[in-house]
């Protein structure tokens, strides 16, 4: 790879899941990769080939109060071309139980995803004039350890992760299904390494789209969502049009 095409990638949550797969692919392509992780020692033990192939670890907890300052220091020390905002985990439970849409039992998780989509959609317009492109990657289910990091409301963990009022409802079904999803990982079709290659190709070659769905399950879900929105519009079009000033 020539110096003209070599890029510096900053990948948050680069020690596992899609972040790890992206780090592997980017390093193999000759890019410089800066990976953030909550525990460097653990990352070094579980992903030793990262540093062996030239990757550089930085300790960063996105949930800490000084996360922003830490990220600024990294950006000041390195000329970063690509930022992968990837670190995270799933917090599931009914909206009522979590106290803090979407699918049952995933209100909080889905709310965070809606927020990420909204802020990056706005960001894509704000930074366009600076030559910065934004890509919202929307992966379906992939064979990663993500499911093993699912947490539920602490006050209901002894009851399966939900309050008694939701027993026998879609909330119980979703919480139990998500909590046991690691047992069915072999049934998941998403290949994280293939996903990483698609993302890398989109970034390297440029893209005219804002969202990149990954996985056949994501395509099905996206088509269903678009259909639902279209039905709502068809049913309310006349009401919407009736509110204009005459």
pLDDT along the chain (246 residues), means of 10: 77 91 96 95 95 96 86 94 78 45 53 83 95 92 67 53 65 62 66 95 94 93 95 98 94
Reported as type and span, the H/E element at residue 114 is helix 107-126
pLDDT number for residue 41 = 96
Contact of 21 with 189, CB cutoff 8 Å: no
pLDDT number for residue 99 = 44
**Its pTM surpasses 0.85:** no
């Amino acid at each position: 790879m020539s110096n003209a095409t070599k890029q510096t990638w900053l990948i948050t949550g680069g020690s596992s899941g899609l972040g790890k797969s992206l780090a592997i692919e980017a390093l193999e392509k000759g890019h410089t990769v800066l990976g953030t992780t909550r525990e460097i020692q653990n990352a070094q033990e579980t992903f030793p080939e990262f540093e062996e192939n030239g990757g550089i670890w930085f300790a960063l907890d996105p949930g800490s109060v000084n996360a922003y300052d830490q990220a600024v220091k990294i950006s000041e020390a390195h000329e970063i071309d690509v930022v992968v905002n990837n670190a995270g985990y799933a917090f599931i439970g009914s909206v009522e139980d979590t106290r803090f849409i979407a699918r049952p039992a995933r209100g909080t998780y889905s709310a965070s995803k809606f927020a990420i989509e909204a802020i990056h959609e706005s960001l894509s317009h704000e930074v366009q004039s600076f030559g910065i492109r934004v890509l919202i990657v929307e992966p379906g289910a992939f064979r990663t350890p993500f499911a093993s990091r699912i947490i539920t409301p602490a006050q209901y963990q002894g009851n399966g992760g939900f309050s008694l009022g939701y027993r026998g409802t879609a909330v119980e079904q979703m919480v139990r299904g998500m909590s046991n999803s690691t047992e069915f990982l072999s049934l998941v079709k998403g290949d994280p390494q293939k996903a990483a290659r698609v993302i890398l190709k989109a970034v390297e070659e440029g893209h005219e789209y804002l969202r990149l769905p990954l996985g056949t399950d994501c395509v099905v879900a996206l088509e269903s969502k678009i259909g639902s929105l279209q039905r709502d519009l068809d049913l309310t079009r006349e009401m919407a049009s009736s509110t204009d000033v005459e």
